[in-house]
Amino acid sequence: KQEVTQIPAALSVPEGENLVLNCSFTDSAIYNLQWFRQDPGKGLTSLLLIQSSQREQTSGRLNASLDKSSGRSTLYIAASQPGDSATYLCAAHNNAGNMLTFGGGTRLMVKP
């Protein structure tokens, strides 16, 4: 059974810092790896999707990488802003069955 872990669980940084969020998964047989953002009391917003054949995806200040062999993905946020404060979740889309398995999330606070 796929298990997804995110470290750290919480992170507080000053505005302007570059930061890395980590995601690891136990089963490398995945279709893709997805990163989401969740604001308090809200649903999830899709940020980036990396196909299993890809190494990374970029969108604006966000860059996500995928290393299937080691079961790891990272989300890099450049020049962080207070508006980036939210919970970031990664999810692995398994080959067996059409479903996502989520990590516990990293709660990010960017201080002005």
Partner 1 sequence: DGGITQSPKYLFRKEGQNVTLSCEQNLNHDAMYWYRQDPGQGLRLIYYSQIVNDFQKGDIAEGYSVSREKKESFPLTVTSAQKNPTAFYLCASSMGTSTYTFGSGTRLTVV
| Interacting residue ranges for partner 1, rule: CB under 8 A | 4, 6, 9, 31-32, 34, 36, 41-46, 49, 89, 91, 93, 97-105, 107
**Nearest approach, Cβ of residue 94 and partner 1 (Å):** 10
CB 23 within 8 A of CB 105: no
Cβ proximity to partner 1, 18 vs 26, nearer residue = 26
**Nearest approach, Cβ of residue 65 and partner 1 (Å):** 18
Beta strands in the chain (DSSP E): 4-7, 10-14, 19-25, 30-38, 44-51, 56-59, 62-67, 72-77, 86-94, 100-102, 106-111
Cβ proximity to partner 1, 71 vs 105, nearer residue = 105
Could you tell me the CA-to-CA distances from 54 to 20, 21, 39, 109 in Å, in that order? 19, 19, 28, 29
**Nearest approach, Cβ of residue 16 and partner 1 (Å):** 27
Cβ proximity to partner 1, 45 vs 70, nearer residue = 45
